[in-house]
Amino acid sequence: MATRPAGSGVLVTLVVFVLTTVAFMVAFVVVLGQSSAATSDLQKIKDTNKNLNTQLAAAKKEAETFAATQTELTTDRDRLKSTVAQQESTLQGTGKKAAELQSQIDALNKSLADAIAEHLTATEATKNTIAPFTNATTDYSKSVEEMQKIAHDSKEELEQRYRARIDDLQKNIDGLGAERDTLRTKLEQAEKKLVQFEVKPEDPSSLVDGHIIEVGGPDSTVYLDIGQKHRVVPGMTFEVFSTPEQVQNNKDGALRGKASIQVLRVTDDTSTARVTRSSPNQPVNRNDVLINAVYSPTYTYRMLVYGKFDVNNDGKATAGETSVIRNRIQEWGGVVIDSEKVTGDLDFIVIGNPPPKPTEPSATAGDIETQAYTQAKNEYDTYERITKEAKDARIPMLNWNRFKALTGQGN
């Protein structure tokens, strides 16, 4: 066998290798191109899937919203069904009532028609009944006209008669008026004469009870010219004035001096007192006069005390505090009249707080309530009577404040 040279085999091998390499590269390029296209397609598929997922989520959300809406619509539908059923039931009831009302209306219309028919029948019967009286009425009208004429003539005659009578009465009235004027003049003259002899309340200037004879000593001490034989007792109070001419009622109607004093100690002819109220610009001096309207060294005052008083100023008037005033008057030499009658020999009436007017008890009130009303009514009526009788008799009335001021206690 013949042998080929070694170099030609290598060359063939090399050529084959080269060709194989080129073929591989071509195949690789083709495969790479296909891979890039596949990668691009895969990305497109991923994007498509993403869009589909987004759409799917939106579709699910819309489905959920639709489901909720469907549930609400179902609930509304059921509610509307129930409402419709109720309205149908109500409508049926209303229709039934309407039918009943229509039946009643028909019955009423029938009754009305029957009543009208009966009324027409009765009217016709009445016309037939009164027909015979028509002529009598005409005759009666003529008689009335004749009577009216007679009455008119009688009226004129009576008017003339009474006019003359009125003239006579007017003359009498004029005469009585003149007589009344004369009597009124005489009455006024008689009242003036009566005033001259009338017993009047004592003038304040004549109420001077004593004088200050000395001023000095501790605690604003003053000395008075009245003592035990003048019925002065410790605790008695006086108003102080400079002169008797200054003794006058203030704007409240009460005596009010420049100072007030209270007796501390008493001897036979003199007393020692302290100043309980004074004015800086009006000092107490010797020879000042003393006033206590319910005390007199030579006269015994008669006083009627009635009502309940608030002596301690606690806002409550009680019968127990009335005894304080009674004791005060008696200690100062006065006489307390234990009565509810107003007599002409009284010098003063010391009156308590006005009682309220009681309200009448109800018809179902018990014995206790009725007794309480009766007692309150008696107290109210007695107070009003005493007040009126005192004013009519012109007897001075003192309430607690005025009593304090008039006796020098109004500090």
Of the candidates 249, 248, 247, the residue with the CA atom closest to the CA atom of residue 289: 247
pLDDT tens digit sequence for 83-136: 767 877 777 777 777 777 787 878 877 877 787 777 777 767 766 766 665 555
- Per the CB < 8 A criterion, the answer to whether 410 and 260 are in contact is yes
| 4 band by pLDDT with thresholds 50, 70 and 90 | low
Query: Angle 125-128-129 (CA atoms, 0-180°, nearest 5)?
Result: 85
Lowest mean pLDDT among 204-218, 320-334, 343-357: 204-218
**Which residue among 272, 291, 310 closes a domain?**
291
- Residue-range definition of the domain harbouring residue 348: 300-411
Indicate yes or no: pTM above 0.75: no
My answer on whether 193 and 207 are in the same domain is: no
User: Starting from the edge strand earliest in sequence, which strands make up the sheet with 348-351, in order?
Assistant: 335-337, 302-306, 348-351, 397-398
CATH code, domain with 382: 3.40.50.10190
User: Could you give the number of structural domains in the chain?
Assistant: 3
**Which residue among 156, 174, 198 closes a domain?**
198
**Which residue among 259, 291, 323 closes a domain?**
291
My answer on whether 337 and 385 are in the same domain is: yes
pLDDT tens digit sequence for 346-401: 888 999 999 999 988 888 888 898 899 999 999 999 999 999 999 988 888 888 88
